[in-house]
Every structure is written in structure tokens, then in C-alpha cells.
Amino acid sequence: MAIAQTILTQNLADEIALVDALPDKLRGEALDLQHAAAFLPRVRIVSGTDAAVTKNSDLVVVTAGARQIPGETRLNLLQRNVALYRNIVPPVAEHSPDALLLVVSNPVDVLTYVAWKLSGFPASRVIGSGTNLDSSRFRFLVAEHLDVSAQDVQAYMVGEHGDSSVAIWSSISVGGMPALKSLRDSHRSFDEAALEGIRRAVVGGAYEVIGLKGYTSWAIGYSVASLAASLLRDQRRVHPVSVLAAGFHGISDGHEVFLSLPARLGRAGVLGVAEMDLTEAEAAQLRRSAKTLWENCQLLGL
């Protein structure tokens, strides 16, 4: 609900439709938001257990996903998520054939591929939230290290969302200056141990929050709302999101794999993907991520 709440408070939509398999919880959440109407922008909130309530949507955000059972294999979890998506994506695509599809469920890269296959939409209209939030964590931690505002840090995590995401150290800038120069000028540590410590903190950020409060909510809400703003308002901002990556950075043209790359987003979806100037080590890590994701996608038989 943090995503819906953040989109609502940022006045990004005239109508928000909530869909869930649990009718009582769904109705309660909708009422809770509706009762705050006097304090919020005027937005119509509707809810239902059927995808018909989303008819003619401009943007559909999919957060549903099966939870991993202790001892369950990754493949079995993926297969259960595919079964879940078969019940969600085709009806949504049928009711809103011109919509943009934004996938947030994990594992987000594989499920974005699944949503693309099941929807029949062009790849430019199917986007995964990917490493947008990972990159925000990255910017925050670099900013803390340099004692600057995170808004002045330009930094990306790319590749697979999760433990194998790639920190692109070579392209970090702070206030328009390369990060290496900023670090030298401020006499702050920038050795391999410092870099790896920041990367581990980025990757482990979600685990830390989950360990402390049981789940993540607000940061992903703001992350997805930023994507919704870029898409619905045609802002053409660049976000690291899960897109069809075949042909980029040495990834095989024949590998229909989704992973995070900096992409320009607007009302038509993905308007372009930035070709980053990666080091060979960074490019090799990205290709390894792509190979692993492609192998997982092949097992699904879509």
C-alpha cells in the first residue's frame, strides 16, 4: 500500500484502482485512504478482486508475488510466480491494451520478462522497478561517505536486482565532478575495502530493513512513485530500471533478458537506453548477470 499511498499524495493520478485477492483487506485499505480525502488531492479510489476494475488504465503496477517456502528451490518459486502471473497479466492487458506495465514483484527481472511474454505488449511498455531503489541506496551511502547531499550524487547500480547487482564506480559523479576527484580533494578513503563495504551495504540494505521491521515499504513506495511520475508526466528522466537488454554491453542479441540499465522514461514507456562507458570488469559482471537471468528464463518455457 505504500506505493498507492505515495502516488496518491504526490497527485500523480486522477484515479487509483486497487486489486487484491483478499476482499475484506482490500476494502479496508481503500476505505482507509478514502477517509483521508480532506487532506489529499482529489483522487477517485476504486477497488475490487477482478482486473476489470483497472479497465483503461494508463499505468498498471504489479506487486503480487508468491513467497518462498523454506527449503523451496528457486526454480519452483519461479514456476509458482509464473502461474500467478498467468492469472494476473493477461486480464490486465485485455482491459488496458494501451497501458504501461510496471513490475515490482521479486525476482523482478525474471518476472518482468514473464509479464512481457504474457502481455503481448512491446518491450518498451513493460518495465521492471529493477535497481531504481538500489541506486538510491547507493547514492545515499556515497553521499554519507563524502558528506554531501544525495541529490548531488549521480550513481547507478545495474544488472540483476539483488545480490549480483553491479556498482558502476567508474561513472559516479558528485556535483558534476568525477567521484575519484571529489574523494581525493576531500582526503577521504576510496580504497577497495571502502568500495566493497559500500556495495555490500547497498545489497544488504533491504535485508537490514526487513530484519528490523519485518518488511520494506516507504523507500520502495517513493521509488515506484518516481517511476510513475516519469512515465505519466512524460518527464523523460533517466532511471536504472529493468528493460530488454539484448544487444547492450555485449549481451547477446538472441538473449531476451530483462535487467537494469539507465533508461529514459516517458509517456510511451522506455524511450531509450543509455550506453554507459563501463570498465571491462563492470561489463563482464553485467554479462554474467545477463547469462544467469537468461538461463532462468529459459527454464520457464515461455
81 annotated to a ligand binding site: yes
All cell numbers assigned to 243: 528493460
Marked catalytic residue, from 145, 161, 239, 255: 161
Distance CA 269, CA 67 (A): 29
| Per-state percent for the chain, helix, strand, coil, to nearest 5 | 50, 20, 35
Please answer whether residues 289 and 160 qualify as being in contact, where contact means their C-beta atoms are separated by less than 8 angstroms.
yes
Element housing 36 (H / E): none
Amino acid at 12: L
- Residue bearing cell 490486465: 92
Query: Cα–Cα distances in Å, from 275 out to 105, 136, 139, 152?
Result: 26, 20, 20, 22
56 annotated to a ligand binding site: no
Q: What angle do CA 218, 219, 220 make, to 5 degrees?
A: 95
All cell numbers assigned to 18: 486497487
Query: Cα–Cα distances in Å, from 229 out to 48, 68, 225, 276?
Result: 24, 31, 6, 24
Amino acid at 70: P
User: Is 161 tagged catalytic?
Assistant: yes
105 annotated to a ligand binding site: yes
Please answer whether residues 267 and 235 qualify as being in contact, where contact means their C-beta atoms are separated by less than 8 angstroms.
no
All cell numbers assigned to 242: 529493468
Binding-site members for NAD(+) are: 20, 81, 104-106
Q: Mind telling me the catalytic residues?
A: 161
